[in-house]
Amino acid sequence: MKLFLVAILVGAAFVGCQSKPTKVTEESGNRDSQNQVLVDTRTALEFESFHIAGSVHLRSDDFLVLQNPKTKKRILDPDIEQIVERLARRGISPNREVVLLSDRADSVENKKWNWLLLQLDVKNVVMMSLPIYRDIHKNRPPQSPAERASVWSVERPQLIKAQAQQCFVTWSDEHCL
C-alpha cells in the first residue's frame, strides 16, 4: 500500500510539472516589403556606419552636375529620363511606397527628395526619422532590397527643371512646401 501511495504521489508530481506544448507561430513583419522602398538620405559615412538592412542610399549631390566650374554652380541633371532610370534601378516607382530615412524626419535632404519624388509622380512618400523607424519596426525581420522597378515617364520635366534650383539643389521652405 505504501508503494502504491508513493507511486501516485510521484506520478502526480510529474504530471503537475508538465507544461503544455508550445505553439509556434510566425508572423511576417514584412508583408509589404515588395511595395516599400527604404531610402536612407544621410551622408555616405553615416550610411556605411549603420543602416537598415535592405535600404538604399541616395544623396541629392549625386544627382547634380557642375554647370560652371569657375563659380562651382551645380544644377539638377537636366536629363530627367536618366534620373528616373537611376531611381528605378534602386527600386523606386510610382507604384511603391518610399520611406525616406534620416536622423530627423524633416531634414533638408529628406525634404529635397520628397519634393523631387512628388514631382516625378511618386506620390506615396513618407519622411521618417531613423530612430523612430527602428522603434516601430524593431521586431521586423531584415528586409531585402527592393527589386528594380520599371522606368516610368514624367509628365512635367520642364517644371521640375525650372524649380529644381530652389527645391533640390538648395532648399527653400517658402518656395517648395
Delineate the domains of the chain, giving CATH numbers in brackets.
33-176 (3.40.250.10)
Low pLDDT (below 70) residues in the chain: 1-2, 4-7, 9-34
Calpha distance 74→170 (Å, rounded):
10
- pTM (predicted TM-score): 0.79
Residue 15: its pLDDT value, please? 62
Phi and psi dihedrals of 97, rounded to 5? Answer: -80, 135
The set of cell numbers assigned to 129 is 526619422
Mark out the alpha helices in 50-121 (DSSP H runs).
Answer: 80-89, 108-119
Residue-level pLDDT at 116: 96
